[in-house]
Amino acid sequence: MIKKVIVLPDVHIADVCPKDYLPVKKFIKSFKPDEIVLLGDFMDVSSLSAWDYDKKRIMEGKRFKKEIDCANIELDFLQKYAKKITYIMGNHEDRLERYLDKNPEMEGLIEIETILKLKERKIKFVKLNDLYKLGDMYFTHGMYTNIYNARKHLQTLGCNVCYGHQHSTQTAMQNMAMQKPYMAYALGTLGDKKPDYLRNRPGNWINQFAIFYYNDTNGNFNLYPINVIKSKFIWNGKVYGG
């Protein structure tokens, strides 16, 4: 049976939703996928950033409670239109673990699984750098950001893999004699392409998500990266957003 999946990379929800994620929400509402894979960094966790904790002007007004509330609202929405949600942990969610390393008295209170009620929601949670398999494709947040990161993921993992993390797109393929082909797909981001911490430096980033079809009988798949440009994208002859 053919399953249809939406892959959402690096949404980076803080206390508001990024604008290029909004047309994707409308698409999800009509597409009604069998599953949504959150490819890591669904939450930004900017209020607990170790990079900015001593920068009072940047951190002014940021509250973790607002981020939690916003993320829960988005999970409520996604669960209305998808039969299943899988939440892969990213390095931004890992900020909570690093915070707990410094504040162990908070253990059991602020982990992602707890604040987003993932067990109660029956949302599968995949830890940072672990792999999640659908058909013959594996999903993870992303482990490498070097210039040839797709090739690095392919050579290191030795399987079909889709990941985010570095906010730019890239592919690599390996098809040796007498073997089946393997591909690595790097996806962009649905977050803000000009966050404050870049300080107006250009980021080699693209707004993007993916539609993934797979056969749950034999594992065959196709993955379609969708570029979101100025909060618009085209799928199946129709424009979404604007």
**Confidence label for 52 from pLDDT (cuts 50, 70 and 90):** low
Q: What percent of the chain has pLDDT over 90?
A: 79
Q: What is the pLDDT, as a whole number, of residue 56?
A: 56
Q: Residue 93, class by beta-carbon neighbours within 10 Å (0-12 exposed, 13-18 middle, 19+ buried)?
A: buried
The three-state DSSP-derived secondary structure of 166-205 is CCCCEEEEECCCCCCCEEEEECCECCCCCCHHHCCCCCCC
Neighbouring C-beta atoms of residue 156, cutoff 10 Å: 12
DSSP state of 21: G
pLDDT, tens digit (0-9, with 9 covering 90-100), for 76-123: 999 999 999 999 999 999 999 998 998 999 999 999 999 999 999 999
Whether the CB-CB separation of 169 and 191 falls below 8 Å is answered with no
**Helices 64-81 and 22-31 sit at what angle, rounded to 10 degrees?**
30
pLDDT for position 198: 64
Helix (H, G, I), strand (E, B) or coil at 143: coil
- pLDDT at residue 61 is higher than 90: no
Rounded Cα distance between 189 and 44, Å, is: 12
pLDDT tens by residue, 122-176: 999 999 999 999 999 999 999 999 999 999 999 999 999 999 999 999 999 998 7
d(CA 209, CA 38): 10
Count Cα atoms within 13 angstroms, Cβ side, for 163: 31
